[in-house]
Structure 1
Amino acid sequence: MDDAPEISSNRLIAVTIDETSLGASTAEAEHEREIAIHDLLDENAFAVPGRAQGPYRLDLKLFENRLVFDIRDAEDAAVVTHMLALGPFRPIVSEYNTICERHYAAIRSASPSQIEAIDMGRRGLHNDAANLLGERLKGKIDLDHATARRLFTLIVALHWDQ
C-alpha cells in the first residue's frame, strides 16, 4: 500500500454496484453510496499487479458473504475478479457505525472539544479499516492509503448485513 500506483492511468474511472445482491435499499443509503462512489472516482490510485496499466472499471457485488471485485478495463473487458471475505470487517464496521452515530449526536449537543475527540477516534478507526483493507487486497489490487479509505467508506455505505 505504500507504493502508490501511477495515478494518471492506474485508476478507477467507473464503479457500479449490483443492487440485486444487496437487497432493498433506502433513499438515504442510496445517497450515501452515490457520495462514496463520487469521492472514490474523484481521486484514486488503483492498479492490478501484472497488468500493464489502467484505467479500470470496478463492479461490486455481494456473494456468499464476500465482496466481489469484478475489475474490467476501460472498454469493459474482464481483467480479473477477486473475492474479499467480509467477516474480518464486521467488528470494525460495527464499531465505525457506532462512533459515527456518536459523532452525529455530539454535533447537536456536545462541546467543540468533545466533537473533536470523537472525530479523532472516528478518523483513527477509519485509518485502521483502510490498513486492513490494504492488507486483505495486497498482491491482488494495488492502491494507496487514501484510496483504501475511500473504498472502505463505500463498503460501509453498502449496508451489508453486519
Structure 2
Amino acid sequence: MPNSSKSGKTRDRIIDIALDDTALAARSPEIEHERRVAIFDLLEDNHFRLTSGGEGPYRVRLAVGDRGVLLNVCDGDDAPLQVIEISLRLLRRNIRDYFMICETYFDAIKSGEPTRIEAIDHTRRALHSESGTL
C-alpha cells in the first residue's frame, strides 16, 4: 500500500484533535465526557486528506472563528499545513440535533434503560458520521 505507514495504518487520517476552548462556556461533567467520547470516535476510524497536498497523518486544532469553525491542520510533527473554515450555517442543524440527542441520552442514562441508551447512542454516532461528511 503506497499510502500506509509501517504499522499498516493509512496516513490519510487524523491522529490528534485538540479543541481551543477559550471561546466555549463552562461545561457540565456529562458534556465534557460526551466531548471526549466524540473525539475518541472520530480518531478511532477516520479518513482525512487535504486536497491541497500535505501528507498525513494529521493533527487538527478546532477553534471558533468569526464566521465558522476553524480547522487548523498540521502534519504529525505539528508543522502547519492548512487552515479550513467551515461555515456555521452548514453545521447549524447538526449542532442543534446533537444537543437534543445529548439531552435525551443523559435522561436515558438516568433512567437506566439499556435498549433506549443503545438506540440513542446509535443515532448520536450516525450524526457524527453525517457531520463528518459536510
Tell me, yes or no, whether TM beats 0.5.
yes
Report how far residue 65 of structure 1 moved.
4.5
Q: How many residues align?
A: 127
- Tell me which amino acid in the other structure corresponds to 2:119: D
Q: Deviations over 1:42-92 (max 9, x none)?
A: 222111113253110000011225110000011111100011111232233
The alignment-based identity, stated in percent, is 27
* Runs (4+) off by over 6 Å: none
Matches within 5 A, 1:5-154: 8-51=10-53, 53-102=55-104, 104-105=106-107, 108=111, 115=116, 119=119, 123=123, 127=126, 130-131=129-130, 133-134=132-133, 136=134
Question: Which secondary structure state, in structure 2, belongs to the residue aligned with residue 95 of structure 1?
Answer: helix
Report how far residue 12 of structure 1 moved.
1.0
RMSD over equivalenced CA pairs, Å: 3.2
TM-score for both structures, normalised by structure 2: 0.70
Tell me, yes or no, if the aligned pair for 2:98 and 2:127 is still in contact at 8 Å.
Answer: no
Unaligned stretches of 5+ residues in structure 1:
137-162
TM-score for both structures, normalised by structure 1: 0.60
Unaligned stretches of 5+ residues in structure 2:
none
Q: Deviations over 1:12-42 (max 9, x none)?
A: 1111111112233333322222222222222
Higher relative contact order (CA 8 A, sep 6+): 1
Whichever structure has more helix as a proportion of its residues is 1
Tell me, yes or no, if the aligned pair for 2:54 and 2:81 is still in contact at 8 Å.
Answer: no
